[in-house]
Amino acid sequence: MALPLLDARELVKHYGNVEALRGASFTAHAGEVVALVGDNGAGKSTLVKCLSGVARPDSGTILLDGTPVVLDSPVAARALGIETVYQDLAVAPDLDPAANLFLGRELRRGGLLGKLGVLDKREMRRRAVASFHDLGVSLPDVDVPIGALSGGQRQSVAVARSVVWASRLVFMDEPTAALGVVQRERVLDVIRRVRDQGMAVVLISHNMPEVLAVADRVEVLRLGRRVARFDAATTTVEELVGAMTGALSQEDA
């Protein structure tokens, strides 16, 4: 197989006396959806934090396209084309969808006004509306604070924000958790579309049927280590659960 896009090896992360990651490894290839599953406390969220620059591992290496990288902040990760949809969404509820989409990357006006920091709100709104349209995100109103939208709509904006800016890899931590059936399908569609553009999507989910429906591969974490890797097409929910609970393990994972 080709060189992995992201190759994390033997990551260790302590929080005080708690060992959240005990030599966890993880691999993602360009153009695939890889699901990261595991029971509560298996270290999924910690692993994603380490790989998206929110937390720094105590030891281990992270290779991007075969080159070791240091992800010491979300900004550093984003500069490398890595975006994250956080489980708690991390949107600003008082700002409108366009402002959230461009949060921290606001477009300035041209010329002197731009040098003074004046925003090009019209252009940001136009691009945001176009992006939402492209991604099939339907919002009743793009001029209200995002807090006035439903949970699903808020989530759609959070997903759209990461997808719009990512160039290589998107982490999605439980992106469908708050969604109804229709919106869940929309998000899964977006995930497939992003993969088809050649990016890697890492999906963290508790929903095993959903994982098998959308993922190409599945990696299983247990007690801070990778314990199994599966090809989604030939795997059953029972096998995944077995690996998550420790009933089944692959020595070479």
Taking CB under 8 A as the binding criterion, the range among 2-10, 61-69, 135-143, 224-232 that sits at the site for other proteins is 135-143
Q: How far is the CB of 73 from other proteins (least distance, A)?
A: 8
Minimum separation from the CB atom of position 78 to other proteins (A): 7
User: Judged by CB under 8 A, which of 30, 39, 41, 54 binds other proteins?
Assistant: 54
245 sits in which H/E element: helix 237-245
Question: Which tokens in the block code for residue 122?
Answer: 């019209």
Q: Which residue has the tokens 């420790």?
A: 246
147 is an interface residue for other proteins by CB under 8 A: yes
What is the distance, to the nearest Å, from the Cα of residue 127 to the centroid of all Cα atoms in its chain?
22
Question: Site for other proteins (CB under 8 A): which residue of 74, 97, 175, 224?
Answer: 74
Q: For residue 149, what are its two tokens? A: 């939208």
Secondary structure of 159-213 in the HEC alphabet?
HHHHHHHCCCEEEEECCCCCCCHHHHHHHHHHHHHHHHCCCEEEEECCCHHHHHH
Verify binding: residue 30, other proteins, rule CB under 8 A: no
CB of 86 to other proteins, least distance (A): 7
**What is the CA 235 to chain-centroid distance, rounded?**
23
**Segment interacting with other proteins, rule: CB under 8 A, options 68-76, 175-183, 185-193, 219-227:** 68-76
The interface region with other proteins, picked from 21-29, 137-145, 166-174, 244-252 by CB under 8 A, is 137-145
Residue of 111, 143, 234, 251 interacting with other proteins (CB under 8 A): 143
Closer CB to other proteins, 121 or 206, in the complex: 121
Rounded distance between C-alpha atoms, residue 240 and residue 225, angstroms: 15
**Minimum distance from residue 119 beta carbon to other proteins (Å):** 6
Task: Report the nearest approach of other proteins to the CB of residue 136 (Å).
Answer: 19
- Residues with Cβ within 8 Å of residue 151, at least 6 apart in sequence: 178, 179
Q: Does 248 bind other proteins (CB under 8 A)?
A: no
Contacts of 18 (CB under 8 A, 6+ apart): none
Site for other proteins in 84-113 (CB under 8 A): 84, 86, 88-95, 99, 103-106, 108
Q: For the CA atoms of 74, 82, 14, 7, what is the dihedral angle to 10 degrees?
A: -150
Residues that bind other proteins (CB under 8 A): 54, 73-75, 78, 84, 86, 88-95, 99, 103-106, 108, 116-119, 121-122, 141-145, 147-151
